[in-house]
């Protein structure tokens, strides 16, 4: 029994195994436990990527991207991404981001079933931001300085936004950018398949069998992208 327990529970020490044996009505000395317990090499600490993957349902990431306009102004886009289904839970655009504005976006957008907020160390997340997040009972997970790879999900999202959309349009103003992103996120959630989601969409998309009709093409995001559906003739 000592070998069986120690094989199944590599992290258990002698006191834990002795306590478990005692609850099973088996009284042995510590020396006996030490004699028969299997020795395991110390398991390595989980990587940051593994940590994020193991807690994917509990995490939300936030980040800003900057977008220049035709009039040489710079707009800031805040995105709030839930890790589980890669859904953009919220976004907003402003020319003058402040800690108060950012905190208010999180208050309005943060999913009630998430517990951790992953973000970088940008100065925009100042004291008002800390107070708002603290009052919500949300734990902040800060990435290391100059380590965007520690926030991979939202960084990948920002890359997709640029490659799929913003690199191909000229933004006129804040209202125009908000309209473009609204259209893109509609496409992103409902039609864009993701390798990490087993080639499904953030909003799961059913498979359409052959008997549903012929394949019809529909334009999205002003014709930048298309989606395909089967429609009866």
Where residue 142 sits, what CATH number does that domain have?
3.30.420.10
Which residues, 6+ apart, have CB-to-CB distance to 233 below 8 Å?
A: 213, 214
Q: Confirm whether 211 is domain-assigned.
A: no
- Judged by phi (left if over 0) then psi (alpha if -120 to 50, else beta), residue 79 lies in beta
- 7 and 87 inside one domain: no
- 30 and 57 inside one domain: no
pLDDT for the residue 7: 85
- 11 and 67 inside one domain: no
- 88 and 188 inside one domain: yes
Q: Confirm whether 139 is domain-assigned.
A: yes
Q: Confirm whether 222 is domain-assigned.
A: no
- 87 and 133 inside one domain: yes
Q: Confirm whether 181 is domain-assigned.
A: yes
Q: Confirm whether 200 is domain-assigned.
A: no
Quickly state the pLDDT bin for 105 (edges 50, 70, 90).
very high
Predicted model pTM: 0.76
What is the span of the domain harbouring residue 143? 50-192
pLDDT for the residue 116: 87
Tens of pLDDT, residue by residue over 20-54, are 998 888 999 989 988 998 887 765 566 666 766 77
- 105 and 135 inside one domain: yes
CA dist 4 and 7 (Å) reads 5
Q: Is the pLDDT of residue 159 over 90?
A: yes
pLDDT for the residue 43: 58
Q: Is the pLDDT of residue 185 over 60?
A: yes
- 154 and 91 inside one domain: yes
The strand order across the sheet containing 87-94 reads: 87-94, 74-82, 59-68, 116-119, 139-142
- 184 and 140 inside one domain: yes
Q: Is the pLDDT of residue 107 over 80?
A: yes
Total domains present in the chain:
2
- 76 and 186 inside one domain: yes
Residue-averaged pLDDT of the chain: 89
């Amino acid at each position: 029994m000592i070998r069986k327990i120690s094989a199944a529970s590599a992290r258990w020490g002698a006191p834990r195994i002795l306590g478990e044996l005692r609850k099973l009505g088996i009284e042995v000395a510590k020396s006996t436990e030490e004699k028969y317990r299997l020795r395991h090499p110390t398991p390595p600490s989980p990587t940051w990527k593994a940590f994020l993957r193991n807690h994917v349902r509990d995490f939300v990431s936030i980040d800003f991207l900057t977008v220049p306009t035709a009039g040489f102004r710079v707009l800031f886009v805040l995105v709030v991404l839930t890790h589980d289904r890669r859904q953009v839970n919220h976004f907003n655009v402003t020319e003058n981001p402040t800690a108060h504005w950012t905190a208010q976006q999180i208050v309005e957008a943060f999913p009630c079933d998430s517990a951790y907020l992953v973000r970088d160390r940008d100065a925009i997340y100042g004291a008002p931001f800390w107070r708002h997040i603290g009052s919500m009972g949300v734990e902040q997970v800060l990435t290391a300085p100059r380590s965007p790879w520690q926030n991979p999900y939202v960084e990948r999202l920002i890359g997709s936004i640029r490659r799929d959309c913003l690199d191909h349009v000229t933004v006129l103003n804040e209202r125009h950018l908000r309209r473009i992103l609204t259209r893109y996120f509609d496409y992103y959630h409902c039609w864009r398949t993701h390798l990490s989601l087993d080639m499904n969409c953030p909003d799961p998309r059913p498979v359409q069998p052959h008997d549903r009709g012929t394949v019809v093409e529909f334009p999205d995001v002003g014709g930048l992208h298309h989606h395909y559906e089967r429609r009866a003739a």
